[in-house]
Structure 1
Amino acid sequence: MSLLKCSQMLVNRGSRLRCLCSCVVYSSRGRRAGWRTLTGHTSLKFANITQVQHWGTVAPTRFYHSDLEDLYKTESVQRYLQQLMEEYRDVRKKLQYAHLSETDRKVLIKKRAELLPLAIVFDTIEQTLKDLEEVLSLLHSSAGTKDEDEQLTQLLKEEEVQISRKILDLREDLIKALIPTDPLDASNILLEVVSGRTTGGDICQQFTREMFDMYQGFASYMNWDFEIFNYTTAEYGGLHHAAVRIAGENVYRHVKHEGGTHRVQRIPEVGLSSRMQRIHTGTMTVIVLPQPVEFDVQIDQKDLRIDTFRSRGAGGQSVNTTDSAVRIVHLPTGITAECQQSRSQLKNRDTAMGVLKARIYQSIMGKDTEQRDSARKQQLGTRSQSERIRTYNFSQDRVTDHRTGYVTRDIKEFMKGGEALHDLISDVREHAEREALLELVESSRLKPPESGQSAH
């Protein structure tokens, strides 16, 4: 085979690959850099991907790309993929039946539309694997030759690396397409920070203020709006409680896993605890409630108790000399909301009503009584150290998330709410998404086939 002929064949194959991959719905472009080197891809029929390790990059903290590849090769995920592809082929076959009722046809068309993006990526992977096999076959046949075939061998090796990388990208796209989506991910949120009840209250209150500042910094980093609803200060520059509305792109998707108990370990610089000059431990709680763009909670005015009082928060004498602060209690549920930020009682009342509706909305999202009240109560918990999701150890300059084992240093930089916090939040979110996919795969294995569908 001449060099010219083989080169032309590679060009044609590359064009075909680009055409196939341009059909993929779930694009892999836009991913953040910093994944670890991908190695050891030698399972099942993908054992021929041998050059992948040469193009990976090493990262100190982010491993999502490699984790997705490992997840793709999991037996349960492979079985689930085959099940979905069989279901897709079954739906396409049934749509050809002439005797289908209009109702059945609409159901099948909808199902086909749901499965089509997955089928496109799956078929593209299959075709790309065939292209890789052809390249490897040519490499094998050209082994041992010299002269002009050395140039051909180099071209084939470069093509092998490109195709191998494309296969990994497509697998990643496929796994991301399988991850269950949360319909509330695009929602704005109501975020609350609450000082803990542990010994050394000034430690908890100071840490609560720092956490509030951290999330305000994160909102700025993400270009989100940050609107304060309530801000109740404490002694020594601390904070008892604050509630804010954060609005922007996919706020709930990024912040929803921040809810829970956060623990601090440090030698206090101010307050009563600072006199003892030893490491103290305290806690605070973060509560995250989604505020969907469109939600309507009907509240009967007779079910409300509205109290007014003088603001206890920051704002100066002009705020504190009038009863402008408002607290609203929903009597049937006991859910409470308050606002004291504005000098206008009417504005504070409107804001508190918005907070109340968000909490009531969250409380009715579940399927039963326990679920209806779980979102806020589970995050609030008892505020004890045993329920912590993250520890901020100032003495050792370390932040540890106990759900994933993620560790980061330079705690002062972390508390600014910039890139370091973003990386940790991304790691927790990606871990939760992988867990959600595995749970979906397991539940699909146990779920009986739907009526009228063939069992797979």
Structure 2
Amino acid sequence: MLVNGWSRLCSLCSRVVYSSRGRRAGWRTLTGHSRTQVRHWGTVQVRHWGTVAPRRLYHRDLGDLYKTESVQRYLQQLMEEFRDLSKKLQHAYLSESDRKVLSKKHTELLPLANVFEEIEQALKDLEEVLSFLHSSAATKDEDDQLTQLLKVEEEQISCKILALRKDLIKALVPIDPLDSSNILLEVVSGRTTGGDICQQFTREMFDMYQGYASYKNWDFELLNFTPAEYGGLHHAAVRLVGENVYRHLKHEGGTHRVQRIPEVGLSSRMQRIHTGTMTVIILPQPAEFEVHIDPKDLRIDTFRSRGAGGQSVNTTDSAVRIVHLPTGITAECQQTRSQLQNRDTAMRVLRARLYQSMMGKETEQRHMARKQQVGTRSQSERIRTYNFSQDRVTDHRTGYVTRDIKEFMRGGEALDDLISDVLEHAEREALLEAVESSSVKPPESAH
């Protein structure tokens, strides 16, 4: 019996080790985070073995949704649909058009089904290990080495199941077809009493996103840059190109608020805090998008480029402003001394703005107030506060709080952590919305 047990245990171990190699690290122990992984535990964030950075998180881990009854029903519904599609695709009498439709849906559900099957197999493995443990305890088996191996294996499989459940929930999250798109990012200064605090903050935000682009290895192409006095910034537009740029930055769109004591003037001497705002605009540029514009609908103006304080930078009328007359949407560029290059850049910006306008109208027509797009549809929404006096950044959508604002404004790991947290929160809301929608969907027989 012992030899047979060893044989089955070795077979079981080989399956677990083999399956874990192709997935993320972190299944080796119950706590199981590698040196580069981050886990949210309560009010702290654990990073790099023993380094603790305080965070305030107000929503649960995405994987916790697996335990939700409504999500379980939704999952079973999708698995039944997948099995039904598999059976239908085996029939030879299907027409080519029907087979194409069924195959598309089957392919969409395949990653989910694969993870589901992995969980089912892992649960069987766990049951087998527990059976060995109980059998060993019942017979008072003295082989401590076998018992220890079984306990280690139980721990590994349990950790694997937790990781797979989170993967399963991620596979359930509705896919945003624009996630892989490049973007046009604009930063626009707000207005406040005292003048330059908003322009200064806008320049800092511009630098932060430039730092983030470098951190993510994205291309950062400057399209327009209108400076203000004292090193501030009125407006800038850049094109970001890279892997899943829109997915990471789509929730950055909206109004960002700054609270700080100005560095100069009466308020600085009196230690008086001023509040200012700036706006971030995120416009997706999918690879296949094309906006047809009738040249008759455009008004193209040229003027001399302006620098800080309104002084002329160039002595020729190289700057270009293009107005789309039917919508009133405008775009301008004064980056180069070439009118032709500025016109080409302004047209690219105009096309992106028109595309965003069209996409927004389609969304409204379908009555799809998609929660995963929070901050990108309503650019006037205040999404985040940067309190320099208290060294704190607060995201108002999730309650996420981080300290060391100077480090945050560099656009590196601290900003990436916040963006990841907002994204996970949005995915959670999107999944719950999809589950709710499926629960009120009429049955097939009603059609």
Residue in 1 aligned with 2:389? 395
- Find the partner of 2:398 among 377, 401, 404: 404
Deviations, residues 219-257 of structure 1 (Å, cap 9, x unaligned): 111111112222112222221111111111111111111
Instruction: Provide the residue aligned with 2:12 in structure 1.
Output: 13
For structure 2, the 5+ residue unaligned runs are: 27-33, 43-48
Structure 2 letter corresponding to 1:250: N
Q: Distance in 1 between matches of 2:232 and 2:87?
A: 66
Contact 1:203 1:273 in 2 (8 A): no
| Stretch deviating more after TM superposition (397-406 or 276-285) | 276-285
Q: Label 1:59 to 1:173 Cα distance change in 2 as closer, same or farther (>3 A).
A: farther
Give the stretch that moved more between structures: 73-82 or 140-149. Answer: 140-149
Per mean C-alpha deviation after superposition, the further-off stretch among 115-124 and 288-297 is: 115-124
- Other-structure match for 2:84: 90
Residues 64-86 of structure 1 show CA distances to partners (whole Å, capped at 9, x for unaligned) of 99713311111111110100111
| Aligned-pair identity (%) | 78
Matched, 1:325 2:319: yes
Paired amino acid for 2:406: K
Cα shift at 1:401? 0.5
State the Cα deviation string for residues 324-373 of structure 1 (Å, max 9, x = none): 1111000000000011111111100100000000111111114549579x
Aligned with residue 215 of structure 1, among 205, 209, 212: 209
Contact 1:313 1:340 in 2 (8 A): no
User: In 1, Cα distance between the equivalents of 2:135 and 2:120?
Assistant: 23
Residue pairs, 1:178-257, within 5 angstroms: 178-257=172-251
Determine which of 33, 40, 43 is the counterpart of 2:37.
Answer: 33
Is contact 1:414–1:421 with CA below 8 Å preserved after alignment? yes
Using the TM superposition, give the Cα deviation of residue 10 of structure 1 relative to its aligned residue in structure 2, in angstroms.
0.8
Distance 1:170 1:64 in 2: 24
CA distance in 2, matches of 1:37, 1:13: 31
**Contact 2:228–2:308 (Cα < 8 Å) also in 1:** no
CA–CA distance in structure 2, aligned partners of residues 334 and 245 of structure 1: 22
Is structure 2 residue 360 aligned with structure 1 residue 362?
Answer: no
Q: Any idea what SS the aligned residue of 1:182 has?
A: coil
SS in 1 for 2:110: helix
- Distance in 1, matches of 2:428 and 2:119, equals 21
| Residues 229-238 or 333-342, more deviating | 229-238
**Aligned pair in 2 of structure 1 residues 85, 58: CA closer, same or farther (>3 Å)?**
farther
The Cα shift of 1:322 comes to 1.9
Partner in structure 1 of residue 122 of structure 2: 128
TM-score between the two structures when normalised by the length of structure 2: 0.86
- CA drift at 1:116: 2.2
CA RMSD of aligned residues (A): 3.2
Paired residues for 1:410-429 under 5 Å: 410-429=404-423
Compare 392-401 and 170-179 and name the one that shifted more.
170-179
From the superposition, tell whether residues 99 and 227 of structure 1 become closer, same or farther in structure 2 (CA, over 3 Å). closer
DSSP-derived class of the 2:384 partner: strand
> Who is 2:30 aligned against?
none
- 1:6-42 residue CA offsets vs partner (Å, 9 max, x unmatched): 22221111234456678x8xx446995011469xxxx
Measure how far apart 1:159 and its partner are. 0.7
Q: For residues 109 and 21 of structure 1, what CA distance do their matches in structure 2 show? A: 29
- 1:315 and 1:333 map into 2 onto residues whose CA distance is 31
Q: Identify if the C-alpha distance between structure 1 residues 377 and 160 changes in structure 2 by more than 3 Å, giving closer, same or farther.
A: closer
Aligned residue-pair number: 427
Q: CA–CA distance in 2 between the matches of 1:73 and 1:377? A: 31
Q: 1:34, 1:59 within 8 Å by CA — same for their partners in 2?
A: no
